[in-house]
Amino acid sequence: MESLLNIIKRSTTRFLRYDFSDNEKAVLAEEMARKVTEAEDLDDQKKAVTSEYTAKINTAQAEAQSKAKKLTSGFEMRQVDCEESLDYDKKEVNVQRLDNFEIIEKRTMTNLELQQSLDLKETDN
């Protein structure tokens, strides 16, 4: 007969297979579902932010391209205040820019322009 006095027991741990109980599996499934939903939500947020920044980048690039074209060409088309001068003696119309006073158009008056309006005032009798 062996003596129990020669047996020493000590605690230890080993990396071994552990089978989950049904209850543990249910808890894991619930946690997994929450994390899948969280990951999808975060991915949607990332897409929204990425989309927002993509739009901002596209806007900045378009503005830069527009300014580059202006710089390269040295001009842009815009509305400029002008003044028309109708010279009835010469029968011509001159159009002058008001920002730099350049004459941008000289032409002969049309038949309609040649007809001066009469300043008719009613007189009291």
Q: What pLDDT does residue 5 have?
A: 81
At 4, the pLDDT band (50, 70, 90 cuts) reads: low
Domains of the chain: total: 2
Specify if 123 maps to a domain.
no
Specify if 86 maps to a domain.
yes
Specify if 6 maps to a domain.
no
The letter for the amino acid at 91 is K
69 and 93 in a single domain? The answer is no
* Mean pLDDT, the chain, integer: 92
Specify if 56 maps to a domain.
yes
| Under 8 Å between Cβ of 108 and 119 | no
48 and 93 in a single domain? The answer is no
Specify if 34 maps to a domain.
yes
Specify if 13 maps to a domain.
no
pTM of the complete model beyond 0.85: no
pLDDT in tens, 103-118: 999 999 999 988 876 6
Assign 50 to helix, strand or coil.
helix
**Residue linked to tokens 């071994």:** 16
At 11, the pLDDT band (50, 70, 90 cuts) reads: very high
87 and 53 in a single domain? The answer is no
90 and 65 in a single domain? The answer is no
Q: Are strands 103-108 and 82-87 parallel, antiparallel or unpaired?
A: unpaired
pLDDT in tens, 44-97: 999 999 999 999 999 999 999 999 999 999 999 999 999 999 999 999 999 999
Domain that holds residue 45: 20-76
88 and 66 in a single domain? The answer is no
Specify if 107 maps to a domain.
yes
92 and 55 in a single domain? The answer is no
pLDDT in tens, 27-50: 999 999 999 999 999 999 999 999
The tokens describing 54, both together, are 């993509």
